[in-house]
Structure 1
Amino acid sequence: MKLFLTYFLIPHIIIAFTSCQQAEEEKFVTEKPEDSRFTKVALVEKLDEPMELEVLGDGRVIFIERKGKVKMFEPSTGGTKEIGFIDVFFESEDGLLGLAKDPGFDKNKWIYLYYSPVGPVSINRLSRFTLVGDLIDMDSEKIMLEIPHFRGCCHSGGSIEFDSKGNLYLSLGDDTTPFESDNYNPIDERKGRPENVDAQRSSGNSNDLRGGILRITPQPDGTYTIPEGNLFAVGTPNTRPEIYVKGNRNPFRIAVDQKNGYLYWGEVGPDAQNDSLGRGPRGYDEINQAKNAGYFGWPYLIANNKPYWYYDFDKQESIFEYDPQGPINNSPNNTGIKQLPSAQPAFIWYPYAESEDFPQLGSGGRNAMAGPVYYHDLFPKTEVKFPKYYHGKLFIYDWMRNWIFTVTMDKESNLDSMERFLPSVVFDKPVDMQFGADGSLYILEYGTYWSAQNDDSGLYKIEFSAGNRKPIAKASVNKNQGSSPLKVQFSGEGSMDFDEADSLLLYEWDFDGSGKIQSKEKNPTYTYEKNGIYKPILTVRDKEGEKATYQLEVTVGNEPPVISILLDNNRSFYWGNPILNYQVTVSDLEDGVISEDKIMITWDYLDSGFDRVEAAEGHQQEHPSINLLGQNLTVKSGCNACHGIDNPSIGPSYASVATKYESDPSGKNYLVQKITNGGGGVWGERQMPSHSHLSQGDIEQMVEYILSLSPNKQSSPKNRIPTQGKLKLNQHVKENLNGTYLLTVSYQDQGANGIAPILRREQIVFRNPMLLAAEADYFEGTAKANWQDSKMIKFTENQSYIGFNDIDLSKVKNLIFSLDPNKKSGWFEVRVGGVDGKIIGKTPVISEDNRPKNNQKKWFDYSMEIEEMNGSENLFIIFHTETGVDIWGSFLMNSVSFKSD
């Protein structure tokens, strides 16, 4: 009977389950999914002005940053590495602006970049490069186009996209300043005026590529041909055949419908607030659609063909309104045809104020951009692809207003309706988006402030779930190494589920990799009695049976060494040029008495800052006598993405390189040049990118670090000191620098019970007591902004904060903030331990009224007394305001100084 029931019920269960799935899929054909069906996943954050992205077929993501870096996100590891660098001119709106992969990328590995090369010639350049492995071969560059561009102002455009036929589209701005035409149409034709005050020389000029979107067909040899159907046929006098659409102001982000080939772009419009009887309409941003080649009006028309006036700047008179049926370009700066094609109206348009035509788009700052058209049938069946509800819809977004809308079109692709996409989700200046091969949406977010490295920038992925979503597993331990018996406290904190209360999750722990469940508690303890290397696994399950796992590693049999450093002074800062007494002791359970010569203690001075290199506990394999500055620089430069210390990766291991060149008198200089210039051929065909953007001194430190990793190297470093004595902090005085001192203690034990040796390192960093706010360790509600070649912090909301790790506050009595209230007011709390920790100081309200009357400079110092503490704490500086902040006026902080008297 039981067998019969099982046989009878299982097919019905399968049918019911299948029917449920189908019902979910069919449900989201006409019914809009709720926001909770989408999950925004952070892939990498805190980027430096991200611009464009490309999602590869295997889920890797290439993206660019405006200052010249090309990076790759690797989903299998969750890591990001630099795969190329172009030395670019990145002032104003120039830099590394555009990126696209070739339609045949899987075979040819070609990518296209649009950038502003450094040098005396003011041009922007479209080039093709080849990826070798995961690195760009910079010598593979094929220059396809060079376009003159007036450096120092505005409207570079620079977006690159391909259509389904292999045609490349490149958007170009009008290269014209908007500020000398009262933010109406810039058509200043007066003699002796700068060239960039007349957009008729670019956007209205059929013989100039600027102010247009080009369409070309790249060829295998790096050249290009002209496809049929561009705006001007090949051979037409005074025209450029590359032009597909013309009459653009600043088409910053473009997209191509992959089914019908229609081109979409966001047009960033001028800033005039009001219509003018003698000048023309107020400013509008536009979303445009080109079903075919065409002229789109600028600088003569805007929005739905609202006409500007021809304004005589000499006489300051308005002469006539332009005719959208055939605007005429009579500018003396025009080298093209005079009679332009009839102007095409915008697809969608909106001003600063609430739009009468599209009120749902809101009001305020604006920066329109166009994203992809989604087609459900272009993507395979995956668990995360967007539903059929979005089939055929255009995604548009606004960089300033932080919204995304989907646009529904009729059968002829004419505008039907619009609706907000994920209004409950926060987007911080979306700058590019693309659907990946799995049908999920990838988004680059620029962050709050222009021309700044923003901590709220990042690369994100939006996934959809029609049914139950998998939970997320997170696990940690209080100790992952030690002698037996080893008692370990496990934690499942951070595990969560999107579809039900986290308290309903089921936890299953396999502590020894046996496959057996040994605990169902969320935070259990377990004691390892036997020596060995264990890989405990946490599995979390929701009520539907969906599961996720998280694996750890625990090593039993060798107790890590314990290092103690005694000092008679503050362990974070130096004041003046003190002499410090120190004493170092090292103990190890298995090694017993440790001789002094086995303990590596070094004393270093760096004339610039230092970023501490962190490594996972128990997995550091560095030699105790390494060059720490060189190690720090190789990590910051992304070298570890391609080289292991003892194991080869994309490139050879550091140990192999050191062994090869350590006895060669010219080896160091050779390696310096090799790292500077890049190249390949010594260790195989893979190419190393050029690192010419690094200073010669930094590269020399990196080479010294690499050479120090030779397994044959036994010599003791020159900066080695004994286990006790005096430390002189006087080099910064001699060199008149605010340098950094490093006291580093390293000891590697002998291993025990079959467990490998463990290296432990303790380091004390003595810094100048003035810390830049932009170099803090924690940021919330803040942005880093550039000002006169330096970075400052903008507090962008109430209770925003910065925080510094591990600050020794002993003997510190005052903090001095270098501030600019920037027309705002607010006060600061200083807390230790966390943002909700103990308050040790609080300022009254600070505003322009606090600025010393004899100090009209941007920054002024504000001193506050704090409660003196003993020992090191994480320190948080929290900003409060009742007057509010905004993008134009936000409280600014340049530095924080710690004073002992």
Structure 2
Amino acid sequence: MKINLLSILALGILLIACKKETERFVNEKPEETRFTKVTLIERLDEPMELEVLRDGKILFIERKGKIRLLEPESGIVKEVGFLPVYYEAEDGLLGLAKDPDFYNNQWIYLYYSPEGEESINRLSRFTLVDEIMDMASEKVMLEIPQFRGCCHSGGSIEFDSQGNLYLSLGDDTTPFESDNFNPIDERPGRPENVDAQRSSSNSKDLRGAILRITPQEDGTYTIPEGNLFPEGIADTRPEIYVMGNRNPFRISVDPKNGYLYWGEVGPDAQFDSLGRGPRGYDEVNQAKEAGFFGWPYFVGDNKAYWYYDFEKQESTSQFDPQAPVNYSPNNTGIKILPPAQEAMIWYPYADSEDFPMLGSGGRNAMAGPVYYHDLFPFSEVKFPKYYSGKLFIYDWMRNWIFTVSFDENGDYAGIEEFLPETRFKKIIDMQFGPDGSLYTLEYGTYWSAQNDDSGIYKIEFNPGNRQPIAKAQASKNQGAVPLQVAFNSEGSLDFDGDNLEFEWDFYGDGVYISKEANPVFNFERPGTFNTILTVRDPEGLNSQAVLPITVGNEPPVIRFDWEGNKSFYWGKPTKSYRVMVEDLEDGSLDNAGIAAKDVLVTWDFLKEGFDKVLSSEGHQQTESTTQLLGQNLTVKSGCNACHGEENASVGPSYKEVALEYETDPNASDLLLQKVTLGGGGVWGERLMPSHAHLPESDIVLMVDYILSLSPNAALHQKNRLEIEGELKLDQHKDQGTYILTASYRDKGANGIAPILRREELVLRHPLVLAADADYFEGTAKANFRDSRLVKFTENESYIGLDSIDLTQIENLILSIDPNRRTGWLEVRLGSPQGLMVGRTQLLSNELRPKNAQGKWFDIKIPLEPTEQKDNIYLVFQTETGVDIWNSFLLNTIYFDGK
């Protein structure tokens, strides 16, 4: 009995501790480290929607027609059904939902595009029998006409807590015939899919609407009360709950109050146009009750389009959101429409003035679930109360998740990012499972492709002991045999402060083991080995980090013989250079072991400035810096959603484009125009939207990268050089960056594959914006008086510049404004506490030089002679304090050299 009482007491203490731990996260936002993203399955083929079942199994669909069931514990996935579907353009198997009484009747609902000549999409109910879909059980509930081969099918299915089914339908209208503004082309003889007034604002058409119906046992449906048009109203469809939608691709329903949410994928216009209307916006919408949400007459917060006569190419007047009318000859419904409702959240391609936290770039807004903590009473991994009542929204292109908070009236109250450090790959559906964890279905990088980075993932919350994090580094990861490597576990940590145990498995086979945190090991045989670091906390939780070590081939070493400073240029000098390459196994350029023709030397000039170079750091596989920049920009711009480097997706692969234009001397200009303006015709009927929102300089780099993928591109590179010679730095005007690049791929050795190495010499203009520094601490960046500047907001705050050659640099000239503060700046090497090589006098507004123009004035800092390349830091020191209104300001840094 005593043992049992002790056990009960211990259990009670544990439960109290857990409760206190959990109660921390009612008003306090939990750290991101308390969430774990767990991979359940990957490499899916265009996944679309999922349903998490109460036994943990996951039902999901793929666009080409498969219905699949995943058993997470075993990792086994089986095909439970297949529908032959038309899956071109945006059609296919699009929507999935289980019946509210699924565990008794085994009914599921699918929205799909049946294969065949008939251009329709269909909502049907099917029955699962022993986890296999009975094809004969199909009950067709709705069939909706769809203009195949184009755009905006929608297809998301959700149930509310009252048993009503919601189905989202796109406007079935091409965006490419109206200059990316509102498609309202009423000209006779035109294709039907150029006028969204026939669908989205047509009360007798189900497209461009979100329907609400109540399924019945016999496969029919009834109309619930409260839809937009009651039954019996002439020229209306009673199924419509909300209308005036463009492409409501993902929807959700609040399980408690029944509010409907959806992400609206918006049009592509880059700029506002007088006479046409606003630029494009994506939206996140809330409907507390039925309503008209504006398309194609309004977007965002009811920004109004103009009535545009496509025949005369003239505009007459703007539409009125309080009294919208649909006089299109293609409209079969009522003419006078309900007042337009504003979006809850809206954002364009560019930075949003209203919701700046949402960023910029490609956009595809989607609505996820509303979370309620009390719906999961028995789960240990459910989300905390902090998120209760909040809506989860996400963007397919931008790869973020935000949560939306509401006030006591259910109105928008605020927004904050969820897990900003976690990587997502185009979430296409999400759902809270029965355990209160968030399940994400991720489509992967490329549209219309089977992506290796697609999958289903589970995000769990941990209020208690957290799994440690293993971090491993090696002094070398490649080299000749024998290879001595110093390993370290720096960065490994336990978020709960526990002492960790370390275990290194050097060959990855469990034979050579070390328990040291930072061991040294000699690899005595050639091969590629996975060295494994395991870290373990006192409760047995562990994590691993794997370091591939390749033994048997020493990487080549590339150096430049270059006169003068290796960071900056002054004037327009001519410089001599020589490339030197040495390889332990191959020899060197000097002894003819390496042929000059095998060393690729290129010379690039980027007129945009040094900041474009930064994204190329750390890469070893591409031989031209401009190619690297272009490759990175295709990813950042979202182009990889429709194109792969090797594989075609919506559009052709980049290599196919390179081959198509390989012999065309005007290829660069043609592709620049094509990407900027959009268009089609070369690769079929699919049209590419305009990318005029991107800087022309970025598009030029992207085009250069694409054209470089031709197999013969390297043979006639216009910027290829000999291994030694002279370079004239004469292409710049006020700014710009020169890049000398040398690369060599060795011949391999001891069965180890060849290794590519590249070395760069980057010369930048000596006038550097402080806001373009590499390191910031205790500072803020702001736009101020037409300048981008740095505010030093506390004593000993600093900025840092990476790897600066101070050879021949005698002074730094700083453009500053003390802004009613008194202080000084110190120049230090290596770290903010490193060797001081210069400092300003005590600076204040009273000491400003008499010839200062405006508020900025220049201060010269003489530097001690330094013949080395190092990180430099500008450290602010003050004895008078700093506040948010009176900050010490730094605009530019000029490296004054010989």
What are the equivalent positions in structure 2 for 1:428-577 lying under 5 Å apart? 428-469=425-466, 499=495, 504-505=500-501, 543=537, 545=539
Superposed displacement of residue 380, structure 1: 2.3
What's the counterpart of residue 303 of structure 2?
Answer: 306
Kept in 2, the 8 Å contact 1:497–1:542? The answer is no
Structure 1 residues 295 and 505, CA gap change in structure 2 (3 angstroms) = same
What's the counterpart of residue 196 of structure 2?
Answer: 199
What's the counterpart of residue 787 of structure 1?
Answer: 648
What's the counterpart of residue 284 of structure 2?
Answer: 287
Amino acid at match of 2:290: A
Kept in 2, the 8 Å contact 1:827–1:881? The answer is no
Partner Cα separation in structure 2 for residue 399 and residue 339 of structure 1:
35
What's the counterpart of residue 35 of structure 1?
Answer: 32
Partner Cα separation in structure 2 for residue 100 and residue 85 of structure 1:
16
What are the equivalent positions in structure 2 for 1:5-84 lying under 5 Å apart? 16-84=13-81
Partner Cα separation in structure 2 for residue 309 and residue 443 of structure 1:
40
Partner Cα separation in structure 2 for residue 422 and residue 786 of structure 1:
31
Kept in 2, the 8 Å contact 1:453–1:784? The answer is no
Superposed displacement of residue 469, structure 1: 3.5
User: What secondary structure, in the 3-state scheme, does the structure 1 residue paired with 2:25 have?
Assistant: helix
Partner Cα separation in structure 2 for residue 826 and residue 341 of structure 1:
49
Kept in 1, the 8 Å contact 2:229–2:237? The answer is yes
1:347 maps to which of 344, 349, 352: 344
Superposed displacement of residue 142, structure 1: 1.3
Kept in 1, the 8 Å contact 2:246–2:296? The answer is yes
What's the counterpart of residue 175 of structure 1?
Answer: 172
User: What secondary structure, in the 3-state scheme, does the structure 2 residue paired with 1:30 have?
Assistant: coil
Kept in 2, the 8 Å contact 1:367–1:398? The answer is yes
Structure 1 residues 345 and 788, CA gap change in structure 2 (3 angstroms) = closer
What's the counterpart of residue 403 of structure 2?
Answer: 406
Partner Cα separation in structure 2 for residue 371 and residue 879 of structure 1:
45
Partner Cα separation in structure 2 for residue 388 and residue 432 of structure 1:
23
Please tell me whether residue 371 in structure 1 is matched to residue 368 in structure 2.
Answer: yes
Which segments of 5 or more consecutive residues in structure 1 lack a partner in the other structure?
Answer: 474-492, 508-519, 524-539, 551-779, 796-820, 830-841, 851-863, 884-901
User: What secondary structure, in the 3-state scheme, does the structure 1 residue paired with 2:190 have?
Assistant: coil
Amino acid at match of 1:53: L
Deviates more, 1:13-22 or 1:110-119: 13-22
Partner Cα separation in structure 2 for residue 402 and residue 178 of structure 1:
24
Identity among equivalent pairs (%): 64
Kept in 1, the 8 Å contact 2:228–2:290? The answer is yes
Kept in 2, the 8 Å contact 1:785–1:791? The answer is no
2:242 maps to which of 236, 241, 245: 245
Kept in 2, the 8 Å contact 1:825–1:881? The answer is no
Superposed displacement of residue 390, structure 1: 0.2
Partner Cα separation in structure 1 for residue 148 and residue 237 of structure 2:
23
Which segments of 5 or more consecutive residues in structure 2 lack a partner in the other structure?
Answer: 471-488, 504-512, 517-533, 545-634, 657-700, 721-743, 763-898
Please tell me whether residue 396 in structure 1 is matched to residue 393 in structure 2.
Answer: yes
Kept in 2, the 8 Å contact 1:408–1:416? The answer is yes
What's the counterpart of residue 271 of structure 1?
Answer: 268
Structure 1 residues 129 and 360, CA gap change in structure 2 (3 angstroms) = same
Q: TM-score, normalised by structure 1?
A: 0.56
Superposed displacement of residue 269, structure 1: 0.5
What's the counterpart of residue 649 of structure 1?
Answer: none
Instruction: Describe the superposition over 1:411-431 as per-residue Cα deviations: whole angstroms up to 9, x where unpaired.
Output: 111000100000010111111
What's the counterpart of residue 358 of structure 1?
Answer: 355
Partner Cα separation in structure 2 for residue 186 and residue 318 of structure 1:
14
1:158 maps to which of 155, 158, 170: 155
Kept in 2, the 8 Å contact 1:386–1:464? The answer is yes
Kept in 1, the 8 Å contact 2:535–2:543? The answer is no
2:256 maps to which of 259, 272, 276: 259
Superposed displacement of residue 219, structure 1: 1.1
Structure 1 residues 205 and 502, CA gap change in structure 2 (3 angstroms) = same
Superposed displacement of residue 211, structure 1: 0.3
Please tell me whether residue 141 in structure 1 is matched to residue 138 in structure 2.
Answer: yes
Superposed displacement of residue 56, structure 1: 0.7
Superposed displacement of residue 19, structure 1: 3.3
What are the equivalent positions in structure 2 for 1:666-677 lying under 5 Å apart? none
Structure 1 residues 546 and 19, CA gap change in structure 2 (3 angstroms) = farther
Amino acid at match of 2:221: Y
Superposed displacement of residue 370, structure 1: 0.2
Superposed displacement of residue 139, structure 1: 2.1
2:128 maps to which of 127, 131, 135: 131
Structure 1 residues 439 and 784, CA gap change in structure 2 (3 angstroms) = farther
Amino acid at match of 1:107: N
User: What secondary structure, in the 3-state scheme, does the structure 2 residue paired with 1:787 have?
Assistant: coil
Partner Cα separation in structure 1 for residue 759 and residue 334 of structure 2:
59
Kept in 2, the 8 Å contact 1:447–1:455? The answer is yes
Please tell me whether residue 327 in structure 1 is matched to residue 324 in structure 2.
Answer: yes
Q: TM-score, normalised by structure 2?
A: 0.57
Superposed displacement of residue 505, structure 1: 4.9
2:218 maps to which of 195, 206, 221: 221
Superposed displacement of residue 825, structure 1: 3.6
Amino acid at match of 2:382: K
Amino acid at match of 1:336: G
What's the counterpart of residue 684 of structure 2?
Answer: none
Partner Cα separation in structure 1 for residue 64 and residue 390 of structure 2:
33
Structure 1 residues 323 and 785, CA gap change in structure 2 (3 angstroms) = farther
Partner Cα separation in structure 2 for residue 9 and residue 468 of structure 1:
23
Partner Cα separation in structure 2 for residue 879 and residue 256 of structure 1:
54
Superposed displacement of residue 15, structure 1: 5.4
Superposed displacement of residue 20, structure 1: 2.3
Superposed displacement of residue 10, structure 1: 7.4
Please tell me whether residue 823 in structure 1 is matched to residue 689 in structure 2.
Answer: no
Kept in 1, the 8 Å contact 2:253–2:259? The answer is yes
What are the equivalent positions in structure 2 for 1:687-702 lying under 5 Å apart? none
Amino acid at match of 2:391: L
2:88 maps to which of 84, 87, 91: 91
Kept in 1, the 8 Å contact 2:214–2:221? The answer is yes
Superposed displacement of residue 182, structure 1: 0.9
Instruction: Describe the superposition over 1:825-881 as per-residue Cα deviations: whole angstroms up to 9, x where unpaired.
Output: 49999xxxxxxxxxxxx996997989xxxxxxxxxxxxx99848897x889999999
User: What secondary structure, in the 3-state scheme, does the structure 2 residue paired with 1:28 have?
Assistant: coil
Kept in 2, the 8 Å contact 1:455–1:784? The answer is no
What's the counterpart of residue 317 of structure 1?
Answer: 314
Superposed displacement of residue 17, structure 1: 3.3
User: What secondary structure, in the 3-state scheme, does the structure 2 residue paired with 1:29 have?
Assistant: coil
Structure 1 residues 794 and 465, CA gap change in structure 2 (3 angstroms) = farther
Please tell me whether residue 111 in structure 1 is matched to residue 105 in structure 2.
Answer: no
Kept in 2, the 8 Å contact 1:826–1:882? The answer is no
Amino acid at match of 1:350: Y
Structure 1 residues 75 and 417, CA gap change in structure 2 (3 angstroms) = same
Kept in 2, the 8 Å contact 1:285–1:349? The answer is yes
Structure 1 residues 846 and 352, CA gap change in structure 2 (3 angstroms) = farther
Instruction: Describe the superposition over 1:576-623 as per-residue Cα deviations: whole angstroms up to 9, x where unpaired.
Output: xxxxxxxxxxxxxxxxxxxxxxxxxxxxxxxxxxxxxxxxxxxxxxxx
User: What secondary structure, in the 3-state scheme, does the structure 2 residue paired with 1:24 have?
Assistant: helix
Give the root-mean-square deviation of aligned CA atoms: 4.1
Kept in 1, the 8 Å contact 2:745–2:755? The answer is no
Structure 1 residues 409 and 92, CA gap change in structure 2 (3 angstroms) = same
Structure 1 residues 505 and 74, CA gap change in structure 2 (3 angstroms) = farther
What's the counterpart of residue 842 of structure 2?
Answer: none
Structure 1 residues 179 and 8, CA gap change in structure 2 (3 angstroms) = closer
Structure 1 residues 221 and 392, CA gap change in structure 2 (3 angstroms) = same
Kept in 2, the 8 Å contact 1:57–1:437? The answer is yes
What's the counterpart of residue 480 of structure 1?
Answer: none
Kept in 1, the 8 Å contact 2:746–2:755? The answer is no
Superposed displacement of residue 357, structure 1: 1.0
Structure 1 residues 305 and 122, CA gap change in structure 2 (3 angstroms) = same
Structure 1 residues 846 and 789, CA gap change in structure 2 (3 angstroms) = farther
Superposed displacement of residue 223, structure 1: 1.1
